[in-house]
Amino acid sequence: MTSGDENLVPSPAEALLHISIAPHLRFKNNVPMIMVWTLGALLPVTIADLWIYGIRALVLLLAGIGGATAAQWGLALVRRKKPVFRELSAFITGILLVLTLPLSTPWWVVLTGSVFAIIIAKEAFGGLGHNFINPALAARIFLQVSYPGIFAGNGAGFADQAPPLAQMQDMLGGLLWGNTQGALGSVSALAVVAGAVVLWYKRIIGFKIPFSFIVTVFVLFWATSGTGDYFSADALVVPCYQVLSGGLLIGALFCACDPVTSPITPLGKVAFGIGCAALTFAFRRWGNAEASVWFAIIFMNCTTPLMDQILRPRYFGEVRKRD
């Protein structure tokens, strides 16, 4: 290098300049780190399941994780690619699937669902980051449709009809602290929220989708409680029961917030949460209440591209053309 070339060496300040096209996003967490934190956030509700239900819950968790991992490994061998397990996505898919199922689900049904989640709902569309619907919820609906006799009337996520008002009041304590029937993910509302706080703290999920989802469900059931007095304690029991039961919290805080299958625009996130809530309300009020949350989220997953297109913010100086 000649003396005239020394000016070509960038200074420390110039080395920090990176020329790239928008969007200019900076985020410290990579995919494996996000998966590790998500797995850690699922630990409270998973531990609660193991503590309350014991070996039966452990068998289902092993079936879900084992089936998802084996499917990913086997598909990689068929495609002659090296299996990638450090991202932990198969583990999370298996756990989420189990959390949407009742305790009475046979282990082989869980195994079937976890294989379906990986091969059909995820890898068939290109793998991690390319699936347009949540793999765990897609598998949950697949099992609901394929084995209706197993899930009918056994507390598969929510009762066919909500219990009487007095019974709801007695059940609220169990929904908060644990030991309640339904999906394993609804065993303890406090455990689910505790895990979500970790994701909020690490900025892996935001507030828009879960807040709009939960609040809209609460308001809809509060407005239609039928008690006659909207400001009485009885009027609040019904919406509280609807929010805390049926796996709604695990769906709103962990499934609906999936960054791959949910909108990225601010207005899109709010509309997504409200849409999930409105469908959940409709399914529970006038349709089959079982798996209402899972069906609602999957349906809204299909609207994500349209929401991002219609509700995207306008760029500074942009003039939109009229058709």
The answer on pLDDT for 314 being more than 80 is no
- Which DSSP state fits 71? H
Most confidently modeled of 77-86, 155-164, 219-228, 256-265? Answer: 256-265
229, pLDDT greater than 60: yes
Specify the pLDDT at position 155.
45
pLDDT of residue 156: 42
Supply the pLDDT for residue 159. 43
Band (pLDDT 50/70/90 cuts) for residue 115 is very high
How high does pLDDT run on average in the chain?
83
Instruction: List, for residues 268-307, the tens digit of each pLDDT value.
Output: 999 999 999 999 999 998 876 778 999 999 999 999 999 9
> Quick check: 48 pLDDT over 70?
yes
What was the pLDDT predicted at 67? 95
What's phi and psi for 147, nearest 5 deg? -130, 65
Nearest Cα to Cα of residue 42 among 96, 82, 88: 96
* Residue 267, pLDDT score: 93
Instruction: Determine if residue 322 is left, alpha or beta; phi over 0 gives left, psi from -120 to 50 gives alpha, anything else beta.
Output: beta
Specify the pLDDT at position 33: 87
Q: Give the pLDDT confidence of 153-165 residue by residue, as tens digits.
A: 554 444 445 565 6
User: For a pLDDT cut of 70, what percent of the chain falls above it?
Assistant: 76
Query: What's the pTM value of the predicted model, to 2 decimals?
Result: 0.83
Q: In the chain, where are the structural domains located?
A: 31-307
- Across 112-121, 173-182, 304-313, the highest mean pLDDT is recorded for 112-121
Q: What is the pLDDT of residues 8-44, one digit of tens each?
A: 555 555 555 555 554 555 556 677 888 899 999 999 9
Q: What DSSP state is assigned to residue 321?
A: P
Kindly report the CA angle at 304 between 192 and 259, in degrees rounded to 5? 45
226 CB neighbour count, 10 Å cutoff: 9
pLDDT of 246: 79
- Structure confidence at residue 234 (pLDDT): 75
Between 288 and 323, the more confident residue is 288
Q: Classify residue 172 as exposed, middle or buried by CB count within 10 Å of its CB (0-12, 13-18, 19+).
A: middle
Q: What is the predicted pLDDT for the residue at 245?
A: 83
The confidence score (pLDDT) of residue 18 equals 57
Residue 187, SS3 per DSSP: coil
